[in-house]
Structure 1
Amino acid sequence: MKKQLLAAAALAFASFGACAQDITSNNLTSVSWTWVQASAARTSLDDADFSIDFDGWNVSGSVDVADEYHVFGAFQNTSNNDFVDFDLKEAQLGFGWHPKISANANAVVELSWIRQDLSADLFGQDIDDEQDNLYRVSAGVRGALGEHFVGTLKANYTDSNDWSSDGEFGGTVGAEVRFNRTWSLVGEADIAEHQDHYSVGVRASF
């Protein structure tokens, strides 16, 4: 199912460059790399030994620091209280390059560090607390498909010194529905072998 979703997204973006070229320059088609965002978030961990969903919130942002370069970060706080009280916190910091490939589309290459903190509490007593440092490289495309829609498609490779196995490949599919130059409704699915991240929120672009 995950592979079918990513394949469908890739096909949808296959003609992206041609579509972007047909949009006139006086439409609302510019892509902003400076924004802040608040979202509802879900993380799903799926391993051979267990499968668990965490729900909570996420705040994130990006700043265009120079021509074709940006820095970005995020903090996410989620939990699962079905029986044991699990808390999963995640922080991300990264640097990106976004050269133009058409009038309204950019290629995207990003490097980021991700810190995950998973803790467990049973009847008020801490029973586990684990931290992990992840390292990710991403590559893809982001751009306007019309006045009110911006799409993102990226391939990711994530690795960790703490994982017993090799790193994992995944993909990110994102959509931004813009009401005006500032406010947007955004959604994103980050799908991989063992970890899936989903978010829906509101973005302010500058």
Structure 2
Amino acid sequence: MRKTLLAAVLAAAPFAASAADLPMRYTYVEAGYTNVDINSDDLDDPSLDGGYIRGSIAIAESAYVYGGWSQASKTYHEGELSVKVTLDQPEAGIGYHMPFTDRLDFVTDLAYVRMGVEAKARYLGASASDKDHVNVGRVSAGVRGKPSARTELWLKAGYFDGSDLDEGKFIGTFGGQVSFNKTWGLVGEVQAYEDVTQASLGVRASF
């Protein structure tokens, strides 16, 4: 019996070490696919596809700065007329995290976000375009934790507003990561506010 227990402990030792080697880290870079769904009868519920890139750098034991950029587009065709609509969203911010337990952190961040939209139309060789944007500030708070050695989940609630908006809006974020090793992982995230839902799937390298 003792030999069996000893063998089980020795067999589990590498996995325990790998769990210790995969802490939550706040320095990373990631990129991947993004999709934006807009619930609007007037616009026929468009779904726009594109890509994103995002990064974060820990600047102190409990603080980090981050930034990102995403772009999604959709082209509409009607006879000789085609219209391409593109949503563009860069953002930059600073965040703070504080441990609740060894596997759970409180996280909060403050960010500047530029939400832009551009429409390009083509008809019989002629083209025209128009674009606009709004600048907003966003604050979020929530938790980030490790359900297991190689998985992470995070959940945040936030609020954003700006001088170009009629009123502020609440936003919710839910995401997760599955780590392949100390550096690489697969990440997914969903953000939702009002009639807009943005989902992303990408690869993250943590340092």
Question: Quick check: TM above 0.5?
Answer: yes
**Aligned match of 1:61:** 55
C-alpha distance after superposition, 1:53-89 (max 9, x if no partner): 2210000000000010000000112111123111111
Contact in 2 for aligned 1:44/1:195 (Cα 8 Å): yes
**Aligned match of 2:72:** 78
Matches within 5 A, 1:1-206: 27-47=20-40, 49-50=42-43, 51-83=45-77, 84-123=83-122, 125-164=127-166, 166-206=167-207
Does the C-alpha gap of structure 1 residues 25 and 182 become closer, same or farther in structure 2, counting only changes over 3 Å? closer
C-alpha distance after superposition, 1:117-162 (max 9, x if no partner): 2110110523421111121100000121111101000001121221
Contact in 2 for aligned 1:37/1:202 (Cα 8 Å): yes
Letter in 2 for 1:150: E
Contact in 2 for aligned 1:109/1:140 (Cα 8 Å): yes
Letter in 2 for 1:117: G
**Per the alignment, in what secondary structure is the counterpart of residue 55 of structure 1?**
strand
Does the C-alpha gap of structure 1 residues 47 and 168 become closer, same or farther in structure 2, counting only changes over 3 Å? farther
**Per the alignment, in what secondary structure is the counterpart of residue 198 of structure 2?**
strand
Q: Mean Cα displacement is larger for which, 186-195 or 119-128?
A: 119-128
Letter in 2 for 1:114: V
Cα RMSD, aligned residues only = 1.9
Compare CA radii of gyration and give the structure with the larger one.
2
Question: Hey, what's the Cα distance between the residues in 1 that align with 2:22 and 2:205?
Answer: 16
Letter in 1 for 2:151: F
Question: Hey, what's the Cα distance between the residues in 2 that align with 1:149 and 1:26?
Answer: 10
Size of the aligned set, in residue pairs, is 183
C-alpha distance after superposition, 1:178-199 (max 9, x if no partner): 0111000000000111322110
Contact in 1 for aligned 2:18/2:149 (Cα 8 Å): no
Contact in 2 for aligned 1:98/1:106 (Cα 8 Å): yes
**Aligned match of 1:13:** none
Question: Hey, what's the Cα distance between the residues in 2 that align with 1:24 and 1:45?
Answer: 45
**Identity, % of aligned pairs?**
33
Question: Hey, what's the Cα distance between the residues in 2 that align with 1:137 and 1:192?
Answer: 14
